Structure 1
Amino acid sequence: MPRKNQISPEESQLFRELVADTSPLVQDKKWHHSTPVAAKTKAKARLPAKEQALFYFSDQYEGYVSTDGAQSYTAPEEDALLTRALKRGQIQPQVTLDLHGMTQQQAKLELTSLLHWCELQQLHCACIVHGKGLGILARKVPNWLIQHPNVRAFHTAPRSWGRDGALLVLLRLAKGSVAAKDSDNPA
């Protein structure tokens, strides 16, 4: 008596007769292999610096949810008093970016350019005017900002800088710079 998992000689012969005139399938699908991390890093290094920063911004990421009124965020490793200083206008922006009339893609590219430029110029505070309008950029800009490693904090701008239509953003500067030492004390 054959075991439960064994095929009898009759079943084996029947199978051979059924598949006798068949041919193997041709592989018509592309094999998808994950790109090794080292290859991704090399590809990123070949891009211009402005486009490298786009790697930080994902449109699908929805990590920031605005509460009623003011938009406020402090990076986990930063002091919560930074947003208070931004709210009170104790830290003045050194540059302003106006995103009015731009598409999401244009706004993301301009924001990337601004953050990169601020890093090169050693500027620690920027005002980003996104406007009110339909609120699309008002929702996207905070989500983009919290993904960037150089963003320390942001808060809805004071009235003189645009109130609900703008954000003041505090940026991390490279260690050892004069501006970085000055910005460590927000008040």
Structure 2
Amino acid sequence: MKKTPPITDEDIQLFRDAVSGAKPLPQDSHLPERPKRRPKKAVTLANSSPDSHLFYFSDLYEGVFPDSGALSFAQPGEDPHLPKRLKRGEFQPAVVLDLHGLTQEKAKEELAGLLAYCQQEHLNCACIVHGKGLGILARRVPNWLVQHPNVRAFHTAPTEWGRDGALLVLLKTPQ
């Protein structure tokens, strides 16, 4: 790297002579106008009624998961290493669903809608943020996912996607 020579007194005087007649610019009080945002459109599913995909989820079903640590699941017949691949970040979620603050019923509807949307758009990986809180949704969401036929596997999300408050889900996509 080249070292810059030090500034001499002659250089300083040359600069002062060059800017001697400059006047400060007045500050505008006019703020630039913000572009108007278009309202977000709700995602509509083709040929689907809102409750048509809820039959997969029973609140009576209880899966067997560890009380602490990472949640990990692979559907029978799927590669048993899929959850580990999700954990390592080999799959990046194309869509994120945040269930914070939702009731169980609303969360179930949103989850069903997300799974139908992923199927419609041919998306194979999603992140579902259920949060920690009281742990109600943290216990319910895995039980609902196990029941859905398009869920291949899921695992507790890596740190960048929410860790213990989220799940990465790998889905079947139509051929």
TM-score, structure 2 length as denominator? 0.71
Say what the alpha-carbon RMSD is for the aligned residues: 1.3
Distance 2:138 2:66 in 1: 10
Instruction: Provide the secondary structure at the position in 2 that maps to 1:90.
Output: coil
Is 1:104 matched up with 2:116? no
Q: What count of residue pairs does the alignment treat as equivalent?
A: 129
Deviation at 1:49, TM superposition (A): 4.3
Question: Which residue in the other structure is 1:70 paired with?
Answer: 70
Is 1:91 matched up with 2:91? yes
Distance 2:91 2:48 in 1: 31
Larger helix percent = 1
Distance 1:105 1:74 in 2: 25
Question: Which residue in the other structure is 1:122 paired with?
Answer: 122
Distance 2:140 2:64 in 1: 9
Distance 1:144 1:133 in 2: 18
CA pair 49-82 structure 1, distance change in 2 beyond 3 A: farther
Question: Which residue in the other structure is 1:135 paired with?
Answer: 135
Deviation at 1:161, TM superposition (A): 0.2
Distance 2:64 2:125 in 1: 20
Question: Which residue in the other structure is 1:146 paired with?
Answer: 146
Q: Deviations over 1:139-169 (max 9, x none)?
A: 0000000000000000000000000000000
Distance 1:104 1:76 in 2: 27
User: Is the CA contact 1:64–1:146 (under 8 Å) kept in the aligned structure 2?
Assistant: no
Question: Which residue in the other structure is 1:54 paired with?
Answer: 54
CA pair 79-131 structure 1, distance change in 2 beyond 3 A: same
CA pair 75-102 structure 1, distance change in 2 beyond 3 A: same
Distance 1:114 1:82 in 2: 21
Deviation at 1:67, TM superposition (A): 4.1
Structure 1, gaps ≥5 residues long: 1-46, 176-187
User: Is the CA contact 1:49–1:116 (under 8 Å) kept in the aligned structure 2?
Assistant: no
> Identity, % of aligned pairs?
63
